Structure 1
Amino acid sequence: MRPILIILWCLLSVACSRQPDDEAIRAAIAAGAASVEAHRGKEVLDLVADDFVGNDDIDRAGLASLLRAQMLGANAIGVRIGSVAVDLHGDRAVARFDADITDSSGRWIADRAVTVHFETGWRREGRQWRCYNAKWSSDAR
C-alpha cells in the first residue's frame, strides 16, 4: 500500500507545483516565437488577451490579420529571442526583449533580417499569462 501512496503524492506534487511567474512569461514568449517559426498563428493568438492593443491601436483581430498576411508571404521565418527582462507587479507584468527575425523569401522583411524591440504587458488570466498590450519598433540591418 505504501508505494501507491508515494506515487500518488509524487503525482499530486507535480500537478500542484507552479512555475514562477517570470519563467511562465518567458516560456509564453518562447512558445510564441516557435509558433511564428512554424506558421501557427492561432497558437500565437492563444497567448494574446481578447482586449489586446498594439502599435497604432491594432486590436486582436488586426493582429490575427497581420500574422496571417505575414505568414502567407514568407517561406521560412526565423525568430531568435534575446534575454527577456520581466518586471512583475502582482497579477500584471511588463516584459521587454529583442527578437531577431529573418525571412528567407524577402517578402515579409525586405532586408531578410530585422531586430524588433518589444515592450509587452502581461496579466494573469486564471492560471495563464496573456499579453494584453505590446509596443514594437525595428532596426533594419
Structure 2
Amino acid sequence: MLTCGLALAGCSREAPEDAIRAQVVALQTAIEQRSASDVADVLDEDFIGPQNMDRRAARQMAAVLMLRHQRIGVLTGPVDVTLQGEDRATVRTRAALTGGEGSALLPDSAQAWRIESGWRLRDGVWRITSLTWTPVLQ
C-alpha cells in the first residue's frame, strides 16, 4: 500500500518538458497582457540576453515595448525542448509579435524570429537564463 502511494505521488510531479512549456505559455501570456513584471518573473536572476542584457534591462525593454503598443500578440511555432541533465534545458522556437489590432507585426518591418533560450530549474521553478533571437528572413 505504501509503495502504491509513493508511486502515485511520483506520478503527480510535472514532467520537466511540460513544466518548461507551461513557463513558455506564462511568458507569452505576460507579453500579451502587457505585464513587464510578469515577463521578468520568468527570467532567472542570472539572466543574460543579447549585448549583455541583464534581467533588469530585459524588463525595461519589455516595458518600453508595452508602452508603445496597446495590444500585443505572440504568434509562435512549435516549441522544441531539449533537456540537459535534470536542471538545464534549451528551448528553440520561432515567433512573431503583433501589435495594434493584431495584424501589424512588431517592429514596423514584418519579421519572424528564431528564438533560442537556456533554462535552469531553481527552487522547483524553470526560468530563462539566456536568450537569443535572430531574424528568420534576411
Same fold (TM over 0.5): yes
TM-score (norm 2): 0.83
Give ranges in structure 1 of 5+ residues lacking alignment.
1-8
Identify which of 118, 130, 133 aligns with 2:130: 133
User: Deviation digits for residues 84-133 of structure 1, max 9, x if unmatched?
Assistant: 1111012100000011211127695213x431211000010011101000
- Which 4+ stretches in 1 moved above 6 angstroms? none
The alignment status of 1:17 with 2:15, answered yes or no, reads no
Partners of 2:135 and 2:105 in 1: how far apart? Answer: 16
Backbone CA RMSD of aligned residues: 2.4
- Trace 1:41-120 onto structure 2 (pairs within 5 A): 41-90=36-85, 91-104=87-100, 109-111=107-109, 113-120=110-117
Larger gyration radius, structure 1 or structure 2: 1
Contact 1:102/1:114 (8 A) holds in 2: no
Give ranges in structure 2 of 5+ residues lacking alignment.
none
Contact 2:118/2:130 (8 A) holds in 1: yes
TM-score (norm 1): 0.82
Partners of 2:51 and 2:106 in 1: how far apart? Answer: 19
Partner of 1:32: 27
Contact 2:98/2:105 (8 A) holds in 1: no
